[in-house]
């Protein structure tokens, strides 16, 4: 099938490449000419595991190309996926202006198109948006939904870093449609995927995405709350969750205690769901708690540090990991920011290190020094906090901490095993009672 994809962020590009790999002819559209040129040169503008190789494969097979010409891409395709960003507004609700702009462009193209065309929203939008905001814009073309064009909503469940794998091997595919005809077209696109397909209406599809992300965020905050009780009682929360997670009704994923969830999705989506609830007069005790536990968690790591070091004034503290998780340069909603702000407030001298995130992080805050390597960052530090789970941090060994003045290690992602570390190191693992 001929498909156009508007927006070449990690969702749009990964979906485009994945669909092209499945044999479709894909045109990726972006306003950024530099990105478009890179894609046509088989150079992904973002890093995702396996993306470069697969992009090269689909570009050289003539299955994928990129353009800045939205109009032509729609005239040349049968289905258009909208994959643009939907950031948070100040009140937590979703800014859908990029989705609406994409719909306006599509509407212009529909005016000139005689063939039936399906428009499908992949961007995360709150229930009612596709029908309430996208549809009226498309109908301004003078064309009618159902007769002249179809409308769908197909949420993505892609984790940054492993997005291509998540796209090619999904747990389920959710296809919301205005009518049977729209759904059938979208189902056909996915016919080679083995995953179960949920065929539903537009607003249910939109809600499935929010309810999924909010539940995953709830699991994390739940694990973080249990971890605090475990710390007080000398119990290891990771062992507890291993036991809990074996129950197939619960499952072990996303029960890792740490310094909270960040990224471009969970914080934004939970806030958006809460804003939507408020709009419709529903109280959200669970969602409120999920967010407040998450706000406290990075500060809790500093409390743990202070229990060991006392006052932090004038002390050099190294923060290892500045991005919201390992494997990405993305610093959106990273827990490193509230953590470092608190350290600075306490008068500490903060040195940060991240394999890929230092440039982006330096735009968020001024008072942090950055070091080129772990060794420099740790040199003469009184303590370090491991904030994210880069593989480089997972392989840290006792000798790596040799240059520290005081060998206090707060493992806020539980990626080191204290049994492998020398006795000289004071290891404080989040959600773990004192080491015996
Ligand atoms: C998340 C979801 O996992 C995807 O399914 C979804 O499609 C995506 O949001 C989205 O809405 O677009 P992502 O934000 O890339 O993906 O990152 P995750 O791997 O889910 O991690 C989110 C945050 O939770 C990270 O800060 C991570 O460190 C934290 N986390 C995750 C924990 O603290 N504990 C866990 O057990 C798991």
Residue-wise pLDDT tens digits, 187-231:
999 999 999 999 999 999 999 999 999 999 999 999 999 999 999
Measure the CA–CA gap between 259 and 295, rounded to whole angstroms: 9
Residue 237 lies in a domain: no
Q: Is the pLDDT of residue 434 over 80?
A: no
Q: What ligand 1 atom has the least distance to the C-alpha of 263?
A: 14
Q: Is the pLDDT of residue 396 over 70?
A: yes
Is residue 326 within 8 A of residue 390, CB to CB? The reply is yes
- By alpha-carbon position, which residue is closest to atom 6 of ligand 1? 157
For residue 392, give the CATH number of its domain.
Answer: 3.40.50.720
Q: Is the pLDDT of residue 28 over 80?
A: yes
**Do residues 292 and 164 both lie within one domain?**
no
Residue 276 lies in a domain: yes
pLDDT, the chain, mean: 96
Share of residues in the chain with pLDDT > 70 (%):
99
Residue 38 lies in a domain: yes
Residue-wise pLDDT tens digits, 114-148:
999 999 999 999 999 999 999 999 999 999 999 99
pLDDT confidence of residue 370: 86
- By alpha-carbon position, which residue is closest to atom 10 of ligand 1? 265
**Do residues 50 and 185 both lie within one domain?**
yes
Q: How many domains does the chain have?
A: 2
Residue 302 lies in a domain: yes
pLDDT confidence of residue 27: 98
Bridge partners (DSSP) of residue 429 are: 411
- By alpha-carbon position, which residue is closest to atom 30 of ligand 1? 261
**Catalytic-labelled residue, pool 28, 230, 265, 384:** 265
Q: Which residue pairs, CB below 8 angstroms and at least 24 apart, start in 400-404?
A: 400/374, 400/375, 401/425, 403/375, 403/378, 403/379, 404/378, 404/379, 404/380
Measure the CA–CA gap between 85 and 122, rounded to whole angstroms: 10
Residue 224 lies in a domain: no
pLDDT confidence of residue 369: 87
pLDDT confidence of residue 436: 52
- By alpha-carbon position, which residue is closest to atom 31 of ligand 1? 254
**Do residues 180 and 56 both lie within one domain?**
yes
Residue 207 lies in a domain: no
CA distances from 401 to 121, 311, 407, 421, 424 (A): 49, 22, 7, 10, 10
Span between the terminal Cα atoms of the chain, in Å: 61
From ligand 1's centre to the CA of 419, what distance in Å? 28
- By alpha-carbon position, which residue is closest to atom 25 of ligand 1? 261
pTM of the shown model:
0.96
pLDDT confidence of residue 214: 98
Which range among 23-27, 150-154, 303-307, 372-376 shows the weakest confidence by mean pLDDT? 372-376
Last residue of a domain, one of 200, 230, 256: 200
**Do residues 287 and 376 both lie within one domain?**
yes
From ligand 1's centre to the CA of 262, what distance in Å? 7
Share of residues in the chain with pLDDT > 90 (%):
95
The stretch 84-94 carries a mean pLDDT of 92
**Do residues 178 and 278 both lie within one domain?**
no
The pLDDT confidence band at residue 414, using thresholds 50, 70 and 90, is: very high
**Do residues 321 and 420 both lie within one domain?**
yes
pLDDT confidence of residue 435: 55
**Do residues 430 and 300 both lie within one domain?**
yes
Q: Is the pLDDT of residue 371 over 90?
A: no
From ligand 1's centre to the CA of 202, what distance in Å? 24
Residue 205 lies in a domain: no
Closest CA to 425 of 433, 361, 410, 415: 410
Is residue 381 within 8 A of residue 316, CB to CB? The reply is yes
pLDDT confidence of residue 372: 80
**Do residues 340 and 430 both lie within one domain?**
yes
Q: What ligand 1 atom has the least distance to the C-alpha of 389?
A: 28
Query: Ligand 1 — pocket residues by CB below 6 A?
Result: 124, 156-160, 213, 216, 220, 254-256, 258, 261-263, 265-266, 324-325
Q: Is 265 a catalytic residue?
A: yes
Residue-wise pLDDT tens digits, 292-342:
999 999 999 999 999 999 999 999 999 999 999 999 999 999 999 999 999
Q: The tokens 């309810």 sit on which residue?
A: 211
**Do residues 41 and 124 both lie within one domain?**
yes
Q: What ligand 1 atom has the least distance to the C-alpha of 256?
A: 36
208, 263, 301: residue to mutate for ligand 1 pocket, most atoms within 8 A of CB: 263
Range of the domain at 90: 2-200
The stretch 278-294 carries a mean pLDDT of 98
Q: What ligand 1 atom has the least distance to the C-alpha of 162?
A: 15
Measure the CA–CA gap between 360 and 356, rounded to whole angstroms: 9
Last residue of a domain, one of 150, 168, 200: 200
Residue-wise pLDDT tens digits, 232-277:
999 999 999 999 999 999 999 999 999 999 999 999 999 999 999 9
Residue 229 lies in a domain: no
């Amino acid at each position: 099938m001929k498909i156009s994809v508007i927006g070449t962020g990690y969702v749009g590009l990964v979906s485009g490449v994945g669909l092209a790999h499945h044999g479709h002819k894909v045109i990726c559209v972006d306003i950024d000419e530099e990105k478009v040129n890179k894609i046509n040169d088989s150079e992904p503008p973002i890093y995702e595991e396996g993306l470069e190789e697969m992009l090269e494969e689909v570009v050289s097979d003539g299955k994928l190309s990129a353009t800045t010409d939205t109009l032509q891409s729609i005239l040349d395709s049968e289905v258009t996926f909208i994959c643009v960003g939907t950031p948070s507004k100040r009140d937590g609700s979703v800014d859908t202006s990029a989705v609406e702009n994409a719909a306006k462009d599509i509407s212009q193209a529909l005016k000139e198109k005689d063939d039936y065309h399906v428009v499908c929203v992949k961007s995360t939008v709150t229930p009612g948006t596709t029908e309430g905001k996208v549809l009226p814009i498309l109908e301004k073309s003078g064309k009618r939904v159902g007769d002249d064009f179809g409308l769908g909503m197909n949420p993505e469940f892609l984790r940054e870093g492993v997005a291509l794998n998540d796209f090619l091997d999904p747990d389920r595919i959710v296809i919301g449609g205005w009518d049977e005809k729209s759904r059938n077209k979208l189902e056909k696109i996915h016919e080679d995927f083995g995953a179960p397909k949920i065929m539903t209406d537009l607003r249910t599809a939109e809600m499935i995405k929010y309810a999924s992300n909010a539940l995953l965020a709830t699991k994390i905050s739940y694990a973080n709350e249990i971890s605090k009780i475990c710390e007080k009682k000398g119990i290891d929360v990771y062992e507890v969750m291993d036991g809990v997670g074996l129950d197939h009704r619960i499952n072990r994923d996303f029960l890792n205690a740490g310094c909270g969830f960040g990224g471009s999705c969970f914080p934004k989506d939970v806030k958006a769901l809460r804003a939507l609830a408020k709009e419709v007069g529903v109280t959200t005790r669970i969602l409120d708690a999920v967010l407040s536990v998450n706000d406290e968690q990075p500060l809790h790591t500093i409390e743990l540090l202070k229990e060991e070091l006392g006052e932090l004034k004038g002390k050099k503290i190294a923060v290892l990991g500045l991005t919201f998780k390992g494997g990405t340069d993305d610093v959106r909603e990273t827990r490193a920011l509230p953590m470092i702000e608190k350290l600075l407030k306490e008068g500490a001298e903060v040195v940060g290190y991240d394999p890929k995130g230092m440039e982006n992080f330096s735009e968020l805050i001024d008072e942090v020094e950055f070091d080129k390597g772990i060794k420099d960052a740790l040199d003469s530090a009184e303590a370090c906090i491991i904030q994210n789970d880069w593989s480089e941090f997972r392989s840290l060994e006792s000798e790596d901490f040799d240059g520290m003045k005081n060998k206090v290690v707060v493992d806020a992602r539980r990626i080191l095993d204290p049994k492998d570390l020398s006795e000289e190191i004071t290891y404080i693992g989040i959600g773990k009672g004192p080491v015996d």
